[in-house]
Amino acid sequence: MLKFSFDKSRFLISPLAAALLFAAPPSYSAPSNGQAFLPLLDMTVARLHIARQVALSKWDSRKPVEDLPREAEVIKAAAEEARSLGVPPQLATHFFADQIEANKLVQYGLLAQWHRDGHAPDEKRVDLKKDIRPELDRLQQGFIKTLADTTTLRAQPDCSAQLAQATQAYVVSHALDPLYAVAMDRALARVCEQE
């Protein structure tokens, strides 16, 4: 079980938690209060929390944040998986590119803070390949299922406004750090994009 945390909130990711999160049915009965977007917001925050562990790994290894071959591999796999669930590959490509950019934004922000501080936090490290990537893969499956489940919602003319309001309410209710709030907007930038 991995525990990902940051300054103002905690989020626990485990296979069981992921399964429960992904099994939650979308709610179309109250889209105006943001409930329909809740699974998407939860998974986005979970992925952004993982960015902290990735940043710690990059700090320790002194590897760059950007890993274009790995990013291309993730996006290609997501597009292929999306096609099998009826999600347009272009949407999946854009969505996962945005999620990756948001993750990198958090990593850059954290690394810059740690450089200003002169050290990274003294926290337990997890293995990038053994621990972090499997969690990212589980989140990817959940994201694709949620994109498939929210097709009607995402096609609504006011989708962008609903998503922006739901995101803002989520940021406030979870007291998210400003870095994570900006990263959420970046991660969800093209959710409502129509082909």
H, E, C per residue of 74-109: HHHHHHHHHHHCCCCHHHHHHHHHHHHHHHHHHHHH
45: closest CA among 141, 187, 192, 190? 187
Task: Answer yes or no: is pLDDT of 10 > 80.
Answer: no
pLDDT score for 129: 87
Indicate the SS3 state at residue 162.
helix
pLDDT digits (tens, 9 = 90+) for 34-57: 688 999 999 999 999 999 999 999
Quote the distance between the C-alpha of residue 41 and its chain's center.
8
Q: Does domain 38-187 have CATH number 1.20.59.10?
A: yes
Q: Which amino acid is at 64?
A: P
Q: What are phi and psi for residue 11, nearest 5 degrees?
A: -145, 130
Question: What's the predicted TM-score (pTM) here?
Answer: 0.81
pLDDT digits over 90-127, tens only? 999 999 999 999 999 999 999 999 999 999 999 999 98
CA pair distance 80, 89, nearest whole angstrom:
7
For residue 177, the tally of other CB atoms under 10 A from its CB is: 17
Predicted confidence at residue 20, as pLDDT, reads 34
The two three-digit tokens of residue 155, written as one number: 């096609």
